[in-house]
Amino acid sequence: MSIPAQQAMEHALDVGGRLVDLTRRESRGHGRVCPWDLVVTIGQGPKDRAAAAWIIADEVMQARTDLDDRAYIHPLPPTQTHDPSAKAQSA
- What does the pLDDT look like over 41-67, one tens digit per residue? 888 789 999 999 999 988 888 888 876
Question: How many degrees, rounded to 5, is the angle at CA 80 between CA 75 and CA 81?
Answer: 65
pLDDT at residue 28, rounded to an integer: 93
Q: How many CB atoms lie within 10 A of CB 58?
A: 21
Which sign, positive or negative, has the C-alpha torsion 3, 16, 82, 74?
Answer: positive
Encode pLDDT of 14-42 as tens digits.
988 888 889 999 999 888 999 999 988 88
- Between the CA of residue 88 and those of 12, 18, 20, 84, 85, what are the distances in Å? 17, 12, 14, 6, 5
